[in-house]
Amino acid sequence: MESYDGSFYFAGGERLFSLIIKEKLLGKTLATSELDEQRITKKVALAVFSSDALSSVAYATEEIVLVLILAGSKVLGLSVPIAFAIVALLAILSISYRQVISAYPGGGGSYIVATENLGHEAGLAAGASILIDYILTVAVSISAGVAAITSALPALAPDKVSLAIGFIILIAFFNLRGTKESGKIFSIPTYGFILSIMALILMGFVKIALGYHFNVPVPKEQVVITQSLTLFLILRAFASGCTALTGVEAISNGVQSFKKPSAKNARTTLTAMVLILSSMFIGITLLVKMLGVLPSESETIISQLAHVIFGNGFFYYGIQTATAAILVLAANTSFADFPRVASIMAQDGYMPKQLRDRGSRLAYSNGIIALSAFAVFLIVLFKGDTHALIPLYAVGVFMSFTLSQAGMVKHWQKSDDPGRQRKAIINGLGAVTTFIVFIILTVTKFIHGAWMVIALIPPLIWIFKKIKNHYDSLYKKISIDNLLDGDKKCFILPESRKRTVVVLIGSPYTRADVEAVREARLLVTGNFHVVHVATDKAEAEELYDEWNKYETGVPLEIVPSPYRILTSAVIERLKEIEEERDDDQIYVVIPEIVSLSFWAQLLHHQTALVLKLRLLFWKRVVVISYPIYPFLEQ
């Protein structure tokens, strides 16, 4: 007979694995009181919250050109006015989100704004949209980063999915160490990318001004005109370029991560991000037009520009390294914001409560792990193809933009702020423009994959509501009010009822078994059973004879288990007892020996743990562990 002394709680092992190994990997466990010390400066925040937006210059221009080239290379000059239109929209958004930060310094962005001003339905739509966008941000940015690597090192192309998954795990690991520490690590590649792109743009314009002759390679793929230039095609190119705007809302979601004064520092960081992003985006687009660079399946546009301007030497590989690094680390914006938004929604009861709490390093660890899992799924599903993921991208974020700005208009209407009319006009302009862009994105990208994002939002809202209903129903049922005696501030005493007690013992039975029987008898107000599951007939007979040598006063029940399935045999016997004692509460007592080290734990069966899990959903059964600590005794 298998003994029920399998220890699944062990002091030494718990210390070894939950503290020592975790602290070695993630760092010293931080107290809640240290939260203010984890706030970050504007310089670090620019790297943490802006890497997504800044990195988009590596592919936003390329996405515009890839659409325009369908009408031939002669129309590629339209990329410049399209880029300026996107920058104008970026300016409107930045002013609007500066007002969001001022009005909601606690963070939460579009979800909080929409919920408080437009209602729960709008808030859930905004929450679903932005969470989807964050997941897509990780998948797109990581895929684009791997594309930059494989452009410079084509031999790695067959392993792009594995590389992408590895980068996701690496970024998740650093984020589990906390926002402050991950921000410091990721600041270096972010600022390295800014400097390298600025150097590329500056050197390009200088060489153009000096009349330098550029040797622009002709792509192996022949340009074939497949569409005529139409308004729809121009709008589609504009929609593709709007990927440059993703990540703009990130700072408004993470205001509480900034050092105090948080709102002021967040607004300053937002403005700096917009200025840097705009100058890089316009600069890259102008260089592509002026140099006549064409899109290629084998090499990104940034790689081609670096080749043309700097040649194939140190500076080229430096730019490619910086580009790959920022594209990979752009995912960090999502890792900073997805867990935060999920935590706020979990506090409201719309997401699992596990996402609400901070981990050992004060990061939202469960949210980080959940985001990693979703992103890996997308990478595998779309085989790490950036162009396959891009059509799904930005649709959700513009829905959240629109709901956020519309919510701010309602907010100013209710406010007594002296500048409320001017601020309402600014946010109203933001709502109208982002809604127009949302419609354009939806129409132009619908058949290319945007329909999946649109279709996913209603089911997500339904899931959020089901989670909320579960929690509301649960808390209503377990409320302490159910135990109060009418209007009296006292508890209703429970009715007296019989308790059937079942003690499970192993073979050979030990002091743990005997002590459990002795203690369990104190609980008895009804029937008492001592049960042994027999997997070996001879061993069971020996145990029975041994038990009867002592005057325990309790008969031993032998339950045969010819197929050696211990938990099933126990379950069957408990069912019989339940039928026999229709009005009783059944207490199942399991003796357990507690080990003090992990290696000792491995030497014991885990029958008790399995049995507890199986009995967890049995309404009338209460499971009691009776532990003894032989290694702590003198």
The model's pLDDT over 288-329, given as tens digits with 9 standing for 90+, comes to 999 888 877 777 888 889 888 988 888 888 888 888 888 778
Q: Do the beta carbons of residue 86 and residue 324 sit within 8 Å?
A: no
Which pLDDT score is estimated for 596? 65
The stretches of 78-178 forming alpha helices (DSSP H) are 79-103, 109-118, 120-152, 160-176
Q: In terms of DSSP bridges, do strands 585-593 and 556-560 run parallel, antiparallel, or are they unpaired?
A: unpaired
Q: In terms of DSSP bridges, do strands 499-504 and 585-593 run parallel, antiparallel, or are they unpaired?
A: parallel
- pLDDT, mean of residues 350-370: 86
User: 6 falls in which pLDDT band (50, 70, 90)?
Assistant: very low
- pLDDT, mean of residues 357-365: 80
- pLDDT, mean of residues 355-373: 86
Per-residue three-class SS string for 447-502: HHCHHHHHHHHHHHHHHHHHHHHHHHHHHHHCCHHHHECCCCCCECCCCCCCEEEE
- pLDDT, mean of residues 221-225: 65
Which pLDDT score is estimated for 241? 85
Q: What gap in Å lies between CA 407 and CA 127, rounded to an integer?
A: 13
In the sheet where 585-593 sits, what is the strand order?
A: 556-560, 528-534, 499-504, 585-593, 621-628
Q: What gap in Å lies between CA 446 and CA 427, rounded to an integer?
A: 27
Interval 409-437: pLDDT, tens:
999 988 888 888 988 998 898 889 889 88
Q: Do the beta carbons of residue 361 and residue 29 sit within 8 Å?
A: yes
Which pLDDT score is estimated for 312? 82
Q: What gap in Å lies between CA 325 and CA 154, rounded to an integer?
A: 17
CA max distance for the chain:
107
Which range has highest mean pLDDT (72-76, 361-365, 527-531, 550-554)?
527-531
Task: Using a pLDDT cut of 70, give the percent of the chain over it.
Answer: 87
Residue type at position 362? L
Residue 299: strand, helix, or coil: coil
- Residue 327 has a CB neighbour count (10 Å cut-off) of 31
pTM for the structure as a whole:
0.75
Which pLDDT score is estimated for 15? 44
Which pLDDT score is estimated for 554? 81
Q: What gap in Å lies between CA 211 and CA 517, rounded to an integer?
A: 96
User: Does the pLDDT at position 132 exceed 80?
Assistant: yes
Interval 550-608: pLDDT, tens:
766 788 899 888 777 788 888 888 888 888 877 678 899 988 877 666 566 566 667 77
Q: What gap in Å lies between CA 503 and CA 588, rounded to an integer?
A: 6
Which pLDDT score is estimated for 14? 42
224-237 burial by CB neighbour count: b if 16+ within 10 A, else e? eeeeeeeeebbbbb
Interval 492-504: pLDDT, tens:
555 666 788 899 8
- Residue 625 has a CB neighbour count (10 Å cut-off) of 18
Which pLDDT score is estimated for 86? 92
Which pLDDT score is estimated for 3? 38
Structure tokens at 65: 């050109």
Which pLDDT score is estimated for 4? 35
- pLDDT, mean of residues 46-58: 84
- pLDDT, mean of residues 368-384: 90
Lowest mean pLDDT among 69-73, 383-387, 520-524: 383-387
Which residues does residue 193 pair with via DSSP β-bridges, in sequence order? none
User: 199 falls in which pLDDT band (50, 70, 90)?
Assistant: very high
**Helix or strand (DSSP H, E) at 504:** strand 499-504
Q: Phi then psi for 628, rounded to 5 degrees?
A: -130, 155
Interval 251-276: pLDDT, tens:
887 788 888 888 899 999 999 999 99
Residue with tokens 């396959």: 388
Task: Using a pLDDT cut of 90, give the percent of the chain over it.
Answer: 18
Domains recognised in the chain with CATH numbers: 39-471 (1.20.1740.10), 499-632 (3.40.50)
Per-residue three-class SS string for 366-428: HHHHHHHHHHHHHHHHCCCCHHHHHHHCCHHHHHHHHHHHHHHHHHHHHCCCCCHHHHHHHHH
Residue type at position 595? S
Which range has highest mean pLDDT (20-24, 229-233, 601-605)?
229-233
